[in-house]
Structure 1
Amino acid sequence: MEAFFVSTGIVALAEIGDKTQLLAFVLAAKFRRPLPIIAAIFVATIANHAFAAAIGTWITGLLGPDILRWVLGASFLAMAAWTLVPDKIDDDDLALAKYGVFLTTLIAFFIAEMGDKTQVATVALAARYDSMIAVVCGTTFGMMLANVPAVYLGDRIAGRIPLKLVHGIAAMIFAALGIATLLGAGARLGI
């Protein structure tokens, strides 16, 4: 359960103000059809995060425990720094509108999530925890927690969220995980 809750919390916080959340705002304003947008976000996130978690699990088997601990610790610290960098949406992410609401959202979200903070976090979380399914479920739930309100409430909440505070909290959680990992907190778990 720890893997699920940590994954949910980290991704929900990291997603606020992230490029894919900005994409959710834009798609909601453009199409004004929340259900197919939310369904596409869900499908794209599961596909993307399952792939990322598989990579994280593969890395765990590839590296020895000592090397893995240092790689993961450094990765979490890098994620802490990266979380503090604001995202911007690319015009390329919106050039797919000719495919309809669901398919446009599905493709745009999947592409925008490639190499994104939350995907990299999913790789690291899957490598950190020995529960790929819990990590994928948690990161997907975190994405939905952040993006469903973005789709339904859009501009009404966008200006009211203190992004610097949310990003600061997410960065502190990533940093705490990085430090704990470097200090061997996962040694009991074989990491």
Structure 2
Amino acid sequence: MDAFLISTGIVALAEMGDKTQLLALVLALRFRKPWPIVMGILVATLANHALAGAAGAWVTTVLGPDVLRWVLGASFIAMALWMLIPDKLDDEEAGKPPRLGVFGTTVVAFFLAEMGDKTQVATIMLAAQYTSTVMVVAGTTLGMMLANAPVVWLGERMTRLVPLRVVHLVSAAIFMGLGLWALLGQH
């Protein structure tokens, strides 16, 4: 259960102000059809995070426990620093017409936007740290939904309620703590 809860919390925080959250806002403001957008986010996130979870589980079979501890610790610390750099959505992504409809456009856009993103990297690291890849993927997917679904339904009002800089600082502190715990706490 730890894998699920920690994964949910970390990704929900990491997603705040992320480019995919900005993409959710753009799609919501442009199409004004929340259900297909939310379902598209869910499908894209499940697919993307399942691949990331598999990659994280695979890493544990290649690296020994000592090397993995250092890689995870350094990765979490790097993620903490990355959290301090806010994401911006490219204007080109927002201007493309919906050839696949609202749902299809959301699935494709989210899947591609999530490639190499903070939350995908976090999913890989969490899957490498915990033995239950299914719980990690379920948690990271729930975290994405908790961060993005309200943005789709509440749109621009949501962005005014949450001070993104504070969320980024809290997320960075959590990732730094996890990195230090991995480096110093597991001997």
With the shorter chain as reference, the TM-score category is over 0.9
What is the match of residue 74 of structure 2? 74
1:18-61 C-alpha deviation (Å, 9 max, x unpaired): 00000000000011000000000000000000000100000011
Over the matched positions of the two proteins, sequence identity in percent amounts to 62
Residue in 1 that maps onto 2:43: 43
- Give the letter for the 1:106 counterpart: V
Matches within 5 A, 1:15-164: 15-94=15-94, 95-164=96-165
Report the RMSD for the aligned CA atoms in angstroms: 0.9
TM-score, length-scaled by structure 2 = 0.97
State the partner residue of 1:12: 12
Stretches of structure 1 lacking an aligned partner (at least 5 in a row): none
Contact 1:14 1:170 in 2 (8 A): yes
Alignment partners' CA distance in 1, 2:6 and 2:137 = 11
Structure 2 CA distance, aligned partners of 1:96 and 1:55? 33
The CA distance in 1 between the partners of 2:81 and 2:74, in whole Å, is 11
Alignment length (residue pairs): 186
Give CA deviations for 1:112-141 in whole Å, capped at 9, x if unaligned.
Answer: 000000000000000011110000000000
Change (3 A) 1:55 1:96: farther
1-structure distance, mates of 2:63, 2:92:
36
Identify if the C-alpha distance between structure 1 residues 96 and 112 changes in structure 2 by more than 3 Å, giving closer, same or farther: farther
Cα separation, 2, equivalents of 1:39 and 1:179: 36
